[in-house]
Structure 1
């Protein structure tokens, strides 16, 4: 049954109507079924069309996917090719890295060998420097010892006190003395330069007044100016400080070098020393002359060791060319510098600039000096010099004819010539003399005869004179004996720390030696003993003075370190009572 049709009539249906309905029922059913089929076919068609469209979309998507896959395949192939190339490049890079690593390892080995060679060379250079320093120290001592006697004897001959020499002979003696002094200057310059190069220069700052500094320089160079008919002017700026804190001896050495050069190279005109303040709390000391001048291209060269502006200057004026080199290095050690302004024929101007107050931090690349240490044993110094054997015949002395009422001087000196000079000079002062050529003999004579005073050389053949000084000051029976050191070695600070009362560096002038002996004689003959009490508290100072006071004791008080140093420079004391705070 495809459908049901219901009809309504207003009157009863007849047969014809029923037949008609019966006849049309089949076609209508067929038509309805056909319509239903068509509807279903249309639905199927639409579904098919939709599926077809979906298939087309899927096909397109599949095509696109295929294209993408093909593209990815091509990309993979290209990536594979690139990877193969990168693999080859990596293999090449690895090979290069291995070669570079091997090269670096070889270079490291080379550097290690080079470093070891440099270290070995540095040790060799250090050893060579020590050898050089030892050699120069030894040669300095070996040269100064005979030069000392030469200068004193030539001075005696030049003075001709007995009047038994001709004028020509005295002139010869003065020439010998002048040449000896030139040789001494050269020895001192070379030794100073060696000490500077080795870093063995010790800067000792102290309070220095500019008036005293200039007065000492005037005392030295005023006679030179008069002899050369030159003007010598010294001026201190009004705004300059009254004093500075620095190493006075080194500043004087620099200025003396500069002034000596100024007078040497100035034939007419004047030499001036100007002191004035500079920037950064510094002091400028300028030495100006009207001499021959220096060309600009030579300004640097003249500060090099053994260099002068040209050979003609050396032949005409002499000199070694060490003075400016030493002065420049000393100025650097003081924290300063030297500047030069000069033109040929227009004179020269050297300006030394140093700090008003010495500060080690301002010194660049300074090697720490080797300071002598004072311990329970005598300080270590260079080993005794190997010198020619002592003569069998000792210097004649007074040991077999001593008079109990006269003072006895023990001379410890292995140079028999100089020992004889000291003996003769001490006899003139009034001493009886004992002469010892070795350390052991000196100790034996000191213990046996208890001399009134001792003149001691440090360079003895068997052991250091410092050891003798230390042993004498340790023994109760000899510690009271005043000892004056006269030596070619510069161990002044160590000697004073061990108890020496004076120190002279060979070669010494006869006048200086006579003055040292007179000081010894004056100290021995003086009954009044002088005591310096350094105490900032006046009450404590008076109390200590009252405690030590006596009929043969003179008490001198000082309230500050500066006052103490001033008194020590001007006077001599037998004892110092020092407050360390």
Structure 2
């Protein structure tokens, strides 16, 4: 191969290809060169492509709007350049090199913001890497709102707020420390007061228990002096007494026994509270004992048509050590409650079984059950119910509390399961201590509850009243058989009495317009009754078109003023507190029936003219008439309050009528003349003052009620209410 000669001006170059190839093949030094650079220059506002003077580049300023970069490069070796390979790395951003293969150019569309160097290296086909990589200093700008200074500026308000908040928290902490110190001192002072009050309450509780114990003991003597002579009289002279007198004496004896048992319960509670009660266990044939207690209530269950059954799995002759007196109280309480709350046609089950080392007595009924909110308090003393929509049953709230405490005393427990509306199940568990029969193991006579023949006769009489068409009819609503029989005995000589055992039964007759009660002239009702109490019955009566004008007298043992106001607001015509005077009751019934009959007579005279259609509008205008009567009542009360002389002319002026028009309308709606109405208003005012004992003399009451003298008030008050004003003092 020959040499290559090249001439350039005066220079003659002779190149030996063989020697040149050998020189290039033996040279292992490889360098990399930049051949083209392209980027967006923000100052010029255009893309710049540079192919020379790369040594003057310095630091590239890359705009954040167009952060791209385009590079071309090559190696210093010309041998097999198509096999050269390249790699790049962003120093400070990348942890390793990015290989580009044989492509001698690099395009980066989005450079990361910051200051760093772009390093590019290459390797020839002999794997000789460039000794020094190509380095380009880059400053890729970031948007201003991503700059640290912008973040700091944006954070300044929050920092300021945080500093202010921290300062306020410090001030609040100091204030709270002062408040805590102040409250701590107050708590210490309150604690001392509370401890003192607690000690006083404990002392008062001790005094209360002592008072109940003492008064219970004191009551034993008069109760004994009531029961013993009556028992002696009935046993020795009962056959010679009239049946009416004998029934009355039996009723007194029975209720004296109830009072005695209530006293015993109070004494038992006091003994349990003082932890002085002890058990007196005797060998007892338990099946016979429970069956006799259960049988005592069979007559009461039969009267209500209740499916009443007793079941046991124990042997008849099985004897156990029990405290007969305490167990008898528990079973009587559970059975009497079941009978009280089970409706007609329901069912009651009592079972006696043994579960391992315990005896189990279950009493289950199909009554209304127990509300869920009452379950936790059912065994609390004096608790009855938290619900306002349940009829007021009466009672003391002692029975279940005493039964539970007696069960605990017997080393057992009394529990309850109930679903509202589906009955209740009471379970008594106590240790099964087997005993041998003894001579006196059968010598017991368990108390047979409160059901007597007198009560049975009264309930039967209630279900089948004796008709007597010649007397005015009265509907008596009373759940206590003795009280029912007493009222019937008291009124039977004057009126024909229809007896209902509770409010629900009375309302059924009224709502269905039973023929027996269609012509009654008055309703005499107790307040606290099962199934439907007196208040509910009164509300339904006053809302019924046919019966709303029928006079109603409430008998109640609740003397609180709010109970009286509740009955008056609901429209009761009169009320009497128990115990009441028979003469007072007769007088009030007579006056109310007389007024009612006058109103009926006036209404009967209003006959439609012959030949015209009789259209009844009473129901439509009844509310307007009631409003008018309320306006008349308000006018009368205003006169008494302001001590203005109460006259017909004054009231007529208040309702914008002449005296004649006022008298005619008042007579039509109330059955009273203006003078009779004014007299009634003044008497009711006097009655209110006397019952509340606002004044201490009859003359003061007379003056405030609009009467000129106390003697005149005494005379007319006794005629109206059957009781003298002086009896209240």
TM-score (norm 2): 0.31
The structure with the largest helix share of the pair is: 1
TM-score (norm 1): 0.38
The structure with the largest strand share of the pair is: 2
